[in-house]
Structures are given as structure tokens and as C-alpha cells.
Structure 1
């Protein structure tokens, strides 16, 4: 396996390429958007978008990077218009064909997603796109940037580990690399706790993440739930789960992750997860096999870190929706926050299977 640092850098470099791209020459225009949103200036928002919208068609020479960057800059206007009560495609002539073209070029939904607004968004203050311009929004974007490349590297490790024998020293080493990547998820939730006000999130930010309609379909707004952690869970412990709400949850967010992760999901769907294979090998090897015990102990450490992220994530969601308990009870990405509690329960159940196998070996 590659050195952990190098692996994460590869993913970060891809994000940086999109973040640095400005194919519509829209930076100075998009930076005016927070002021228009503060003033609820819908005609101003529409007029600004029309200044750079490629209504004559998306250039045929564009690749993924250009199309993703263009969707980012158009996307901040989509959430803004919906926040002020308008379906973007209804109020901006020529918008819908552009969105559908960009979606085809990227194989992603025809609107902005979590990727567009965070890791594909320049972090520099003079270039970072924003709905509101609030510091809490900047911190929200940063909390995702802290962990996204590490999470993507973690998925790659999990897929590789699926084929590494439990008794191989490489299995325990891979689990420790995986745990190190997942520690970034813990850091991201700690950061969010420190720097994002639940009141500001609920009242000022969340309204920009509502669903919009494009091409006769509804598409969810950006939300942290679109992080591909559910793909990692799927490979690690959840690919054969019969928990109906969990299965629906995964399938809801699958269209919002990169095509490569949709392929990973499909590859493992209905097949034994990593822990199923590892526990089967442990039982076949019999009692008192030290290499087996080392492998299971390393796998257990992965779940310890995963739960270190999950438990505070539930608490953070509860804080946010306690603040807004008289309003919507649906999360910013369109899910019920109670699903986070189900994920904790399912993750704990998977970990308990490993601990049982450790006691048996």
C-alpha cells in the first residue's frame, strides 16, 4: 500500500485543480452574491447570473475540471434563488439546458453538490464562493475540506483491504492506515463544534440547501451527508445489511457522490463486507492464532475511530435541530437526523461482532 500521506495528496490535488479553475471568468461576479442575498435582491441575483451563464452552449472542448468548476459558480445562484422562494429554472431563461449539459459532462447531478461548494471551491478569502459571506459558512466549508481527501484515501484502503488475508501483516497495517485517515473525520467534527454556531447554521445557512427541480426531477441541496463515508461503511460492514432505512439512506445519496464511488458501491452491493470476510477467516483459523488476533484488534481500532466521529456528529445534529425545533426536522442534505442515530447503532453492532470474534479466538 502507498504511504498514507502520498495517497491523500493525490485526492487533494484533484480537488485543487477544480478549485483553481474559473472557466466562466465568474470569480468577481460570484463574490457579489452574498450582498445580493442579504438584500433579498432576486432581480439582481438573476441579472448577475445571466452575465456569465453560457447560454449559447457549454464549450465542447471542456473536460471534467472545467464543467465541475462551472457548475460550482452557477450552483451558488441556484441555492440562493431557492432560498428566496424561486425555482431557478423557472426564473432564469436558458438555465436548465446548461445545467443538464454540465451534469452529463461530470456524471453528477444538475446542481451544486457538497463537492462543488467545499473542496472544489477556492479557500482563499479573495476567491472563495459563498451564499452568505458569513464566517460560520467559511468554517462549515473548511470542516469538510479537513477530511474529504483523507476520507477518499480511506475508501481506497478499505477496498484494497477487502482482498488482504486477515493473517497477513499487511491487514493490520492497512487497518492502522485506515484508522489514521478516519481520524481526520474526527478532527472535522471537532472543528465544526468549535467554529459553527447551531443557531447561525439553522437560521442563516440551512435555507440555502433546499432541493430544486431540474428537468422534471428534484435534486437535494449540498449537505455533509453527501460525503462518501456511507460508501466506506458499505464496504467495511454494511453491504449485506437488511436494515431498510439504512439501505434507503445509501441509495438516496449515491447519485451525489463521484462516479468512481458509485462503482465501488455497486461492486460490493449484496456481497460480504470486509468484516464478514475477516470474521469468517478468524473462525476458520481457530483459537489462539496470534496473527488472527492482531488483525481483528486492528480492525476493532478502525471502528473505535469511526465511532469517535459518529457519536459527536449525532450530538451536533441534535444541537442544531434543538435550536430549530419549531421548524423543519429534516437535515440540510434532506435526511432525517434520526438516521445518524441508526448509523451509530449499526456501527456499534458491527464492532460488537469483531469483539465477539476476538473473544472466540
Structure 2
């Protein structure tokens, strides 16, 4: 079994083990990269990329973890080439078959993803960076810290979709889910405290531009491609979203790990947990109030998402306001307007579930009277 076919829905991949690897002997090249980027030295970056390109025979000898580490190191150079105005596969044509082969070996897109840039990135002096600025480290660490808890939240969702809301463990699991989601709030608060909107918008965002591989465009390692949209789909968005958000999470899921893509395929048409809980309350055949407890727990989880999204909209507006930013869209392809729309949708579903919860409590009181 490939290491990417892990049994639960966290990353399942030993992040530190990938981070320790240097299959392309790229440590020295990556250490010099921030200086090359500061000079906007495209020829030097292209030359550096050529020095680490493996042959297809070498890739065939790599184990799965080495393939991940190889794409990580190639990826930091791909983004740098793109930032300086060139398409990597046009500037360095020999890279294209390598990207396609690494994608095939790992069942991921043919470039680096947010996992490569954060969770599988070495710490300390070996850390792969575009700019070398301490603010970049804060951004990388914010995702490193949040990703395992988001993965655990996905695992909880995978269990919840198989449970009856009448089961006591249902509400308990939602409370644990809310605790894990708090990791996103902590991470974005850290970003707001330590990363300036100007640095992100002008210093880092250009490295995440899309590159073209085999005629298709692939976005850079954006934090937007963390599995938060997948959690939305499980909780409420499969049957309560809208066309713009549906389109966004269909596109972003392509950058996820294979098990998360399979979950999305299973969940995308619902029913969401919000719908399942509402149906259980409408049934109202439970005198012990467990569906009401589930609704209350879901509201708590949704409030955490609302807290995160409020902060996300604030930081995005600062980074993409006209006098600061260079782009109309975020690194994951979403706009500030989309983020605000998702925030409104999350608030709406939280209010609706809250009403269902109140109605259910009233029904229980009437029966007990």
C-alpha cells in the first residue's frame, strides 16, 4: 500500500520524515534562493532549477516520501521562476516530464502544494523559503500548526456522517471537532499579529501565481487549499452552499490529499450534517433530546468557523485593497467578495440550526408537560 493510502483522514504521512529528506541534494541551492529572488535573477533561478532536476530513472528509484521531498524542492524554484515573469516549463522545458512523473507517483497535482511548502518543509536553517523574511516563517508555521488539527477534524467528520444524531457520541464528537477548528483561529490570529498585509500582498503573493503544466494551470501552495472547504461540505455546504462557493471548493479539492478528494466525492451531494440533524429534530422521536444536543454542538462548531472567517475577511481586505495589493484574487483563487459570501452563508446556517434547536427544545418541553 502506498503511504498516501493512509487509513484515517489526517495527513497520515510522517511530516518530519519527509522534511528530513534531501533526495535532490538541494539544500545548498535552496539556501541561496532568497538572495536570487531579492535580485530578481531569473537566469540564476533557472540555472539552479536545472541543477536539481532528477532523471526519470532516479524518480523510479525514489520511495514515496522521497517523491514528496523532491516535489517540495522543485516547487520552491517553480514559484520563483514564475514570480520573475516566466513559465517554468517554457524556461526549463526538461522539467515538465519530471513534474508529471512525480505527480503520478504521489497522486497529487504536478507542482508543489500547501503541504509541500509547510508540513513537509524542513525547519530551521534548512527551511525552504522564497524571501527569507521572518514573516514568511510565521506564515509557514501558522499552517504547520493548524494542518494536523484540521486533518483530525476531517477524520471526525468522516465518523459523524456514519452516526445517528440520536447517539450521545454525536454531540460529543462535534464538540471535539470545534476544539480542533480553534486551531485555525489561533493560526490566523498569529498571522494578523506578525505578518503585514503589505508583505504578503507584495512580497509573497507573487510566488503563488499559477504555472502551466501539460496545458493546464496549477495554483501555487496556497493556504486556501487546506481542507476547511471539505469540512464545510460535511457540516453544511453540500446542500446549503451556492454556485460560487461550490465552484471554489470543487477547484480547491484538486490540491488536496487523495483520501480527502475521495471524501469530497462522497459528500459533495449531501446530506450535510446540518440537514441530518434538522431532519432528526423534525422527526422528534427522541425524548432524551440527543438531536437537540447535536444541534447545539453544531452551532458551537459553526461559531468557531464564523470567528475564523471574520478574521480571514479582515486580513484579506487589508492585503488586497487597491493601494496595497497587486491582485484581485487570493493565492487560492478566491476573492474577498467570495470570502465575505462564505462568512454570510456560515452565519445563515448557524442561525437556521439554532432555530431548529429552539424548536426541538420547545417540542420536548411540551411532551414532558
1:34–1:131 CA contact under 8 A, matched in 2:
yes
Partner of 1:256: 255
Partner of 2:42: 42
**Alpha-carbon distance, 1:319 to partner:** 1.0
Partner of 1:4: none
Q: Distance in 2 between matches of 1:81 and 1:237?
A: 39
Distance 1:333 1:291, change over 3 A: closer
- C-alpha RMSD over aligned residues: 2.0
1:180-191 mapped onto 2 (5 Å cutoff)? 180-191=179-190
Give the unaligned 5+ runs of structure 1. 1-6
Q: Distance in 2 between matches of 1:221 and 1:127?
A: 21
Partner of 1:153: 152
Partner of 2:22: 22
Q: Deviations over 1:295-350 (max 9, x none)?
A: 22112111111111111111110111126456321112222121111111111121
Q: Distance in 2 between matches of 1:325 and 1:244?
A: 29
1:80-229 mapped onto 2 (5 Å cutoff)? 80-123=80-123, 125-229=124-228
> Once superposed, which parts of structure 1, at least 4 consecutive aligned residues long, lie more than 6 Å away?
7-10
Q: Which moved more, 1:143-152 or 1:49-58?
A: 49-58
Partner of 1:61: 61
Partner of 1:33: 33
Q: Distance in 2 between matches of 1:75 and 1:132?
A: 14
Distance 1:288 1:227, change over 3 A: same
Q: Distance in 2 between matches of 1:252 and 1:276?
A: 24
Partner of 2:364: none
1:198–1:323 CA contact under 8 A, matched in 2:
no
Partner of 2:365: none
1:281 aligns with 2:280: yes
SS in 2 for 1:213: strand
Partner of 1:52: 52
Q: Deviations over 1:215-250 (max 9, x none)?
A: 111111121111111011111111123511011111
Q: Which moved more, 1:196-205 or 1:43-52?
A: 43-52
Q: Which moved more, 1:232-241 or 1:286-295?
A: 286-295
1:8–1:150 CA contact under 8 A, matched in 2:
no
Distance 1:108 1:330, change over 3 A: same
Distance 1:153 1:286, change over 3 A: same
1:239–1:270 CA contact under 8 A, matched in 2:
yes
Distance 1:177 1:42, change over 3 A: same
Q: Distance in 1 between matches of 2:93 and 2:352?
A: 56
Q: Deviations over 1:85-144 (max 9, x none)?
A: 111111114111101101111111111111111111012x21100011111111111111
Q: Distance in 2 between matches of 1:272 and 1:143?
A: 32
The alignment's TM-score, normalised by the length of structure 1, stands at 0.93
Partner of 2:303: 304
Partner of 1:3: none
Q: Distance in 1 between matches of 2:98 and 2:162?
A: 42
The alignment's TM-score, normalised by the length of structure 2, stands at 0.91
1:8–1:152 CA contact under 8 A, matched in 2:
no
Q: Deviations over 1:137-164 (max 9, x none)?
A: 1111111111001001101101101222
Q: Distance in 1 between matches of 2:296 and 2:217?
A: 44
Q: Distance in 2 between matches of 1:348 and 1:24?
A: 47
Partner of 2:312: 313
1:210–1:332 CA contact under 8 A, matched in 2:
yes
2:10–2:155 CA contact under 8 A, matched in 1:
no
